[in-house]
Structure 1
Amino acid sequence: MDQDKFIFCLEAVADVEVQNSTEIVKHLEELALNHGVSSIYKNCDTIEGLEESLGALLYDDHNFKDYEIIYLVMQGQENSICIHDYFYSLEEIAELFEGKMKGKIVHFANEKILDLSSEEAQYFLDVTGARAISGYGATFNNISSIHLDKVFFSLCQEEFDLVTIVEELHQKFYEACKALDFRLYY
């Protein structure tokens, strides 16, 4: 496993001033301990916070090239995210980070359904430079995708080819992939 690759997790919360250890933080710690996959966690409660956090990662972290996955844990709908009761389209997000996600996999937890047309997905990939965008077509009340996310992240550390990663994920966890409707656009 290549231990020089990291996950950057950005979670939308109601108020960044309230310090709560979320389920996501606990699972990222477990992923680091059990699978050697390191991560950086930040939270945001505004679009400016999202932009500032990703901007700091892009411009201030000299190891940015080693971040393979940008893990977004936020609510939303098919082609939008919701931060503090405001909806932002993935097109708007793509334009904020134009050309700045080269080679990254942008992965959404199942708090937000990811249902993109091929044109929407291609636009996001072309504008941001991301290698892929992934997430889930189904959400279940109070059931997190974190366990499948962790397997996906581990596979991304071991393998570069996206098709091989998705095939292996489906072979090992077919029922979970089917129930959550795992999707990857590349």
Structure 2
Amino acid sequence: MFSKKRIYCLESVPDVESPSKSLFLPELENLALQYGITNVYKTCDSIEGFEESISTLVYEDRNFKDYSIIYLVFEGKENELKIDNYYYSFEELAEFFEGKLKGKIIHFSNTFLLDLEEETFQYFLDVTGAKAISGYGNRVPVLSAALDNLYFSLGEEFDDPTEIVEVLYEKQYTICKTMGFKMYY
């Protein structure tokens, strides 16, 4: 599914001009070193920065077709993504991404709780063309980055999303169950 592909990570920060220490960046570096998976890391602090980052990726990055996962590190509530103290619904995000995510997996870190109804995730997938949405449904005091890296690495071995999730649960059942890992496709 992700074989020899790239991961694009976009993390929300309070201010892109101020240095901030990401807890996810070291894990992405580890992903590259341990699994050989190329990734790009960007930050944004506003909806304009979010839109610019995604538009640059979609329209200007000549390697866009090689990105299999868009990894979003954002906060939120009730399935609404928080960007610059505003909340955006999945329907609003779907309209922004309309037709731009063909075959991509959108993965959320556990800083955002994911618990979508079928109508919502199906609308998002249909409008954006994304292959799947994945993330975590339970709030736990542990960052998902290490489990995310295992998940991403399994994509190098397996093509079928169901198989990836099954193997992930086989290898890390307790943490997957505790964090409520899920994939919508």
TM category, shorter: over 0.9
8 A contact 1:7–1:67 mirrored in 2: yes
8 A contact 1:78–1:112 mirrored in 2: no
CA distance in structure 1 between the aligned counterparts of 2:184 and 2:45, rounded to whole angstroms: 27
1:174 equivalenced with 2:145 (yes/no): no
- 1:123-179 deviation digits (Å, cap 9, x = unpaired): 0000110000000001223x1011110110111122110010000000000001000
SS at match of 1:23: coil
CA distance in structure 1 between the aligned counterparts of 2:29 and 2:3, rounded to whole angstroms: 15
User: Residues 116, 37 of structure 1: CA spacing in aligned structure 2 closer, same or farther, 3 A cutoff?
Assistant: same
Equivalent residues, number: 185
Where in structure 2 are there 5+ consecutive unaligned residues? none
1:160 equivalenced with 2:159 (yes/no): yes
CA distance in structure 1 between the aligned counterparts of 2:7 and 2:99, rounded to whole angstroms: 19
SS at match of 1:149: helix
Amino acid corresponding to residue 6 of structure 1 in structure 2: R
CA distance in structure 1 between the aligned counterparts of 2:156 and 2:89, rounded to whole angstroms: 29
Q: How far did residue 2 of structure 1 move?
A: 7.2
**Alignment map for 1:1-186 (pairs within 5 Å):** 4-141=4-141, 143-186=142-185
Q: How far did residue 78 of structure 1 move?
A: 3.0
CA distance in structure 1 between the aligned counterparts of 2:136 and 2:63, rounded to whole angstroms: 28
Where in structure 1 are there 5+ consecutive unaligned residues? none
TM-score norm. by structure 2 comes to: 0.97
Percent identity (aligned): 54
CA distance in structure 1 between the aligned counterparts of 2:55 and 2:4, rounded to whole angstroms: 21
Q: How far did residue 57 of structure 1 move?
A: 0.5
Amino acid corresponding to residue 146 of structure 1 in structure 2: A
CA distance in structure 2 between the aligned counterparts of 1:181 and 1:167, rounded to whole angstroms: 14
TM-score norm. by structure 1 comes to: 0.96
Q: How far did residue 25 of structure 1 move?
A: 0.8
RMSD between aligned residues:
1.3
Amino acid corresponding to residue 132 of structure 1 in structure 2: A
